[in-house]
Amino acid sequence: MKRMRRIIASVTAVMISCVVLSASDEKKNTNGHYWEWGWGVYYGTLMEPLDIARYDWSLINLGSIPANQKTLELLNKVLEINPQHKFLLRVWPIGGLSKLAENRYQMTLFDYFYCEGIKEKLFQKTKEQIEYFIKGLSKPESIDGISFLEELPASMSSNSWNRWKIGKPLPWDIKAFEKEIEKELGVPFDMMNPQHRLWWGKKYAEMLGDIHKVMKEASGGKKVFYWQQIAMVGTLDELKVGEPMIDKMGHSPVPIYYKDIVKPGFCDGIFGYPGNGMEERCVIPAEKINCLYFTQLSVPSFMRRLKWNDILDSVTKKDPRNIGTFVYAQNENARGVWNAVPWRDNNKAYTKISDYRMVGYFNKVGMKILEKELRPSVKFDYKIDGMKQGDFAHVFVQIFNPVNPSWYGGNANEATMKNLSVRLEVPEGYDLPQSNSAPPLLKLGDLKPYECIAGDWWLRKTSDAPSQVVVLKAIVTWNKGRSITLEARKSNEEIAAFQPHYIISNEEKWVEPAYRMPSFEPSVQIVPLSKELIAPELSSGYYNVKYNDVLYPDEVLVIGPGLKAELHQKTLFSEKICDFESDNQDGTIYDKGYLVYRTPKVATKAGKKYLFRLTGRASDGGNSLVVIIFTCGKDKKEISVLENKFSSETTTSETEVSVPELNGKGQIYMEMYFYRLNQKGSVTYKNFSFMAQEKPKDVSFKLQGRLGPLEKFFTIWQFRDNSEPDYHGKPKAIVKFFNPNETNSINDVRNLPYF
């Protein structure tokens, strides 16, 4: 008991010292910080640089995106478009620092204190992540804030304070270190003992203080923010006088005060989530300790308890400590709900990208940047090599309006390029004779979203002198003064045909060029990605063809020519995934951690049989282990396969996998987890395949309509289906035309750059 009293006294001492620090900090003047960051965006994968750059700031979400050259290139492109753009860097250094599967082998609070070497590894990874972006960004000063993870403490603990109930076992993260905790406390940890919860809070604050200090030093003193999951649970700051910490259910706030975390030289601010007690959990505490805060503006209706205008008022509140908000969106089928955003059409599914654009438009975010950057796609097509004096060449300038109306709040008129014209300038030694060619300047009228038009001229060579570098210029103007100039310096420019097109939503259209081909009946591949496609169809002009069935991610539908259709099988994952996202032909060596690789979740169906082949090797006692998890609603089944199959030489093992029946509602999904068996030695995973065991079959009887021809000089196509957009905004399908008389490109499906 004496030891227990000493611990309680130390907790009290820590809190008193924090009060002193906060009291001195209270005197600082934070007026003028209102909207210092402004409108931000929660950057995830597959966003175009302009979608990020039009906002005032964005998050670099490590843990969701990699710290690699590709990410740096995208962020530097953002800064090129908008040099004033700021970043909040969310470091995520906890991966692979725990043996606990419950947190996906990510470090927990007590890993930090009780596992030797973890603290040092955490600090090193934190420094590396911060330094990578400070050194790699063209403007290091654009990083204006750093956060350790997000939604704490849930991202590194069981987050049991508001979920644990009386009579339940100890939370898994405390249970795993029960002996170590008892040794330090002197008694077993008791969830109903307020002093034990305060002790947990002391350890939590101590850990964050250590990490925040590392972040401050590694970043050169940049702002550090504490990001708690306040939508779910608050802090002790919200307790009223006399209110017990633990209620009758066994619930409590996170057992800390903000002043335990936010201290001069360590942490500068906190996070706010509107509609879930934000005043009590953010605004009032921030005022009390005089610290900054930023907020989240959630578009999905299920993520907020407010109507849209109310949440806008909350995040833009004129508080000198409110430095800005970031918009969070995800694909959502919210039709007819009471708090849907005002632009929702009940007959339409919205992607997260279109929602980001809608929020930006209606709040007039970055409109000058859009005015500068949104432009037509302009391409040349011609062949002038080998021309002699008096010869003619046909020159095309294709102009396509790729601007989705979502950039302008769904208003197609604002996305229209008006009074479009194109002027062709030719070099010395060439001309455009009036008797044979259109005039240099063509007035083309208005170009609506996803419309295409081509100017064409007959270019004559007027000199017999050897051709020097030929420079053709196309000057395109629209909207009273906006212009773009395209120069061509080659003797042959061709607009590539038969390119893969990545489909995110049903409203997109694209151009299939055919400037050098006669009109012909093509074939087309429709390749589903992570989820099934329901009744996919293609249309162009008067032609429409529809497949009246469901197309799964391990299938490829080939339509054409004409009324023909075949269903082929493909590996369930892309070549990139099957190669473990590595360019190393010898495979990827894993000598640390337990879980070393995880595939995306993909759709499948019960009873389907696959042949799973895995190639690799092992050494020093390491070996292979693969766990396949099938889910359907709340039902889940998992199987372990190809365990301990490797040797010191590269070998290939295979097994048949059957998709089990599950009792949940909806679609069955599966994902694969690759492990380093027993966390010993090293294992090298080279590649794998996961192929359905079925032969191609004729499904022409499931077609409705007919696939149209590819005609000179181009055709415009649109894809539709009845499935919802991908949850994370990724493409849901690839569509690729090909000439059936030249090649059957089914075998090229694996080589497409993205699934």
User: Mind giving me the DSSP string for 136-151?
Assistant: HSS-GGGEEEEEESSS
Residues 188-211, mean pLDDT to the nearest whole number: 97
Q: Which amino acid is present at 713?
A: F
Confidence of residue 45 (pLDDT cuts 50, 70, 90): low
Which of 101-105, 292-296, 456-460, 642-646 bottoms out in mean pLDDT, i.e. has the lowest? Answer: 101-105
Is the pTM higher than 0.85?
Answer: no
Of residues 159 and 417, which shows the higher confidence score?
417
Ranking 254-268, 295-309, 569-583 by mean pLDDT, the lowest is: 569-583
Greater confidence, 332 or 580?
580
Residue the block writes with tokens 């004096």: 389
Q: Which residues contact 409 (CB under 8 A, 6 or more apart)?
A: 343, 358, 361, 362
Q: Report the distance separating Cα 140 and Cα 144, nearest Å.
A: 9
pLDDT above 80 (res 616): yes
Tell me the C-alpha distance between 587 and 283, whole Å.
Answer: 51
Give the pair of three-digit tokens for residue 78: 């953002």
Residue 348: both structure tokens together:
């339409």
Spatial CB neighbours of 314, under 8 Å, sequence gap ≥ 6: 274, 275, 278, 295, 306
Q: Inform me whether the pLDDT recorded for 341 exceeds 70.
A: yes
Query: Do 374-493 and 575-692 share a fold?
Result: no
Q: What kind and span of H or E run contains 259?
A: helix 258-261
Let me know: does 121 contact 413? Beta carbons within 8 Å: no
In this predicted structure, the answer to whether residue 728 has a pLDDT above a threshold of 90 is no
Residue 448 pLDDT class (50, 70, 90 cuts): very high
Report in angstroms the alpha-carbon separations of 26 from 249, 264, 272, 289.
36, 11, 20, 6
Q: Tell me the backbone φ, ψ of residue 331, rounded to 5 degrees.
A: -60, 135
Q: 750: pLDDT confidence band, cut at 50, 70 and 90?
A: very low
Phi-psi label, residue 89: left if phi above 0, alpha if psi -120 to 50, beta otherwise: beta
pLDDT, tens digit, 9 for 90 and up, residues 176-189: 999 999 999 999 99
Contact 751, 492 (CB under 8 A): no
Amino acid letter for position 263: K
What value does the mean pLDDT take over residues 579-605? Answer: 85
| pLDDT higher than threshold 90 for residue 202 | yes
Please say if the pLDDT value at position 586 is more than 90.
no
Query: Where does 575-692 sit in CATH, by number?
Result: 2.60.120.260
Q: What is the residue-averaged pLDDT of the chain?
A: 89
Geometric angle at alpha carbon 599, from 598 and 601, rounded to 5°: 120
Tell me the two tokens of residue 54: 């039009």
pLDDT digits (tens, 9 = 90+) for 470-489: 789 999 999 988 999 999 98
Residues 6+ apart with CB under 8 A from 519: 709, 710, 711, 712
For the chain, domain boundaries: 2-10+34-271, 374-493, 501-563+706-751, 575-692
> Residue 21 has what pLDDT?
32
Is residue 473 within 8 Å of 430, Cβ to Cβ? Answer: no
- Please measure the distance between the N-terminal and C-terminal CA atoms of the chain and give it in whole angstroms: 61
Least confident among 38-47, 210-219, 368-377: 38-47
Find the mean pLDDT for residues 331-357.
78
Read off the pLDDT of residues 310-333 as tens digits, 9 standing for 90 and up. Answer: 999 999 999 999 999 999 998 776
Tokens, residue 631: 């889910």
In this structure, are strands 682-692 and 588-590 parallel, antiparallel, or unpaired?
A: antiparallel
Q: What is the pLDDT of residues 203-242, one digit of tens each?
A: 999 999 999 999 999 999 999 999 999 988 999 999 999 9
Closest-CA residue to 258 (of 243, 237, 241, 277): 237
Radius of gyration of the chain (CA): 30
Structure confidence at residue 385 as a pLDDT band (50, 70, 90): confident
Share of the chain above pLDDT 70, in %: 92
Q: Answer whether the bond into residue 713 is a cis peptide, omega within 30°.
A: yes
Tell me how far CA of residue 714 lies from CA of 39, 396, 506, in angstroms. Answer: 40, 11, 21
Reported as type and span, the H/E element at residue 179 is helix 178-185
- CATH assignment, 374-493: 2.60.40.10
Taking alpha carbons only, the member of 242, 247, 99 closest to residue 163 is: 247
* pLDDT at residue 557 greater than cutoff 70: yes
Neighbours of 458 (CB within 10 A): 15
pLDDT tier, 260 (very low <50, low <70, confident <90, very high otherwise)? very high
Q: Please report, rounded to a whole number, the percentage of residues in the chain having pLDDT higher than 90.
A: 70
State how far Cα 239 lies from the chain centre: 37
| Closest C-alpha to 48, from 313, 312, 323, 351 | 351
Write the Ramachandran bin of 491: left for phi over 0, alpha for psi from -120 to 50, otherwise beta: alpha
**Residue 671: pLDDT over 60:** yes
What confidence tier does 20 reach under pLDDT thresholds 50, 70, 90? Answer: very low
Q: Tell me, what DSSP letter sits at residue 575?
A: H
Q: Is the Cβ–Cβ distance between 488 and 471 less than 8 Å?
A: yes
Contact 569, 692 (CB under 8 A): yes
pLDDT reported for residue 159: 86
Least confident of 14-18, 654-658, 712-716, 730-734: 14-18
Residue 3 in this model has a pLDDT that exceeds 70:
no
CB 153 within 8 A of CB 254: yes
Task: Provide CB contacts within 8 A for 492, sequence distance 6+.
Answer: 382, 383, 384, 385
pLDDT tens per residue, range 626-653: 999 999 988 999 999 999 999 999 999 9
